[in-house]
Amino acid sequence: MLTIDGFKQALRHTQTEIESQKDTLTDLDRAIGDGDHGINMSRGFEAVLSILDEDYDSLGALSKKVGMTLMSKVGGAAGPLYGSAFVKIAAAFGDAKEADFALVKEALLEGTNSIKARGKSEAGQKTMVDVWEPFALNVDEGDNYDSQLNELVQKTEDMIATKGRASYFGENSRGTIDPGALSSSILLSALMKEVG
């Protein structure tokens, strides 16, 4: 069951993990993008940390605040994508103070749809959608979430980017993991730990 405190804990855990993998995210984005993903995500989740001490009366209220914060603090393509995902997740959670596995899964599907709509992207284009969509569609309660997420991240290595800045690299984008897929797996892993 995901509680408001659990959601906060997942966001704190995400911030810690983003910070420890900041250089990796930067290196991946330098290889097939503009090298700002580590810095952007770090800045974004630093800002998220600062809103976690406030009280929220629902999962929706917290998720909406996170979304607005990420939209305003994370630059590049990722900010609006993550931001819109959290805002749509907020709508799915609504006034609920806790969410069971089924509601979390539904919320993640909503978040996925928002990322796809905003990024005009589909699975298979070597983006964060390649983690969000298959995970949200296929995850079952009690699965080994981390191993599923890691597998999805690894699968992006072989893909050729056809969306976003990485698509300018064409064939040369093959052989590098998508940085947005990696940051997405960090976030989803932290979240699922709290869902249980």
Residues that bind Mg ion (CB under 5 A): 29, 33-34, 36-37, 76
Nearest residue to Mg ion, scored by beta-carbon proximity: 33
Task: Pick the closer one to Mg ion by CB: 67 or 79.
Answer: 79
CB of 48 to Mg ion, least distance (A): 19
How far is C-alpha 165 from the geometric centre of its chain's CA atoms?
18
Considering beta carbons, is residue 138 or 168 the nearer one to Mg ion? 168
CB closer to Mg ion, 34 vs 54: 34
The residue (of 13 and 163) whose beta carbon lies closer to Mg ion is: 163
State the minimum distance, in angstroms, from the CB of residue 22 to Mg ion: 13
Q: Which of 37, 17, 10, 4 is nearest to 165 (CA)?
A: 37
Work out how close the CB of 78 gets to Mg ion at its nearest, in angstroms, rounded to a whole number.
7
Q: Where are the alpha helices (DSSP H) in the chain?
A: 4-20, 22-32, 37-51, 59-73, 78-93, 101-119, 129-138, 145-155, 179-195
Rounded to 10°, the helix 78-93/37-51 angle is 40
